[in-house]
Amino acid sequence: MFGRRNKKDAADDAAREAEQVVDGVDTEADEGVERERVRLEPEPRPDGPWDRSEVREPAEGRVDLGGLFIPGVEGMELRVEVAGDAIVAATVVLNDSAVQLQAFAAPKREGIWGEVREEIAGGITQQGGIVDEVEGPLGWELRAQVPVQLPDGTGGFQVVRFVGVDGPRWFLRGVISGQGAVQPQAAGLLEQIFRDTVVVRGDGPMAPRDPIVLKLPNDAQMVPEGVQQEEEGTSRFSGGMGQLQRGPEITEVR
């Protein structure tokens, strides 16, 4: 769960200092560490996701979406989603699980995943959801129960996982839903797809958190409207980065 420590007023200073001596904990220093954690430089990515400069042939075994090269696996369905007129996210559906991938511009020497986690957690808890921050196979992630409206009109919860990795001037976020969220041990292939994704930020100027725009592959097979069922809406929580809307779908079978 997430929350902010309350600062004590001047009348409590003496008592606070006494407690710090007894407990051996400096709460002000802790707050400084927390702020420092939010603004850490990106950590090494020995297992991906990859920057375009780190992969010789990004299109080999991957679907070219312009800003993202997403690994293709047999039987997967690939959906793209739009914000306004731009394609900004892709969702890989595999059996009874899915992962939504979205890349954003980021500062040159500062990771934003810690900050984004706090924003996502705050938004979900304000709506009555439950969030836990845990260290998973892809690093620090959020495992959340998000309030949703069920088909019969009653309220319920959907379990989702928010994962993220900071890269050089970009940030890649994934939202895992379905069985891979309910039972994280079942998400191994989706996690591997996330790791092996290549991000193409480009050299042009972009403001931090601007979405990296995607494009449809040249050989995309468009699925007629109404064939696919609407995906659960909770995978569209974006942590303050702008809501997504349903867009065209493509199917990639290998």
Distance CA 53, CA 201 (A): 10
The mean pLDDT value for 104-130 works out to 94
Question: pTM score, two decimals?
Answer: 0.73
Taking 90 as the threshold, does the pLDDT of residue 243 lie above it? no
Task: Tell me the sheet residues that pair with 136.
Answer: 139
* pLDDT at site 239: 35
Mean pLDDT rounded to a whole number for the chain: 78
Q: How far apart are CA 38 and CA 13, in angstroms?
A: 27
Comparing CA positions, the residue from 88, 142, 70 lying closest to residue 113 is 142
**Cα separation values, 251 from 48, 58, 220, Å:** 24, 20, 7
Q: What is the pLDDT of residues 154-200, one digit of tens each?
A: 999 999 999 999 999 999 999 999 999 999 999 999 999 999 999 99
**Higher per-residue confidence, 250 vs 82:** 82
* Structural domains in the chain, sorted by start: 1-38 (no CATH), 50-251 (3.40.1000)
**Is pLDDT above 80 for 30?**
no
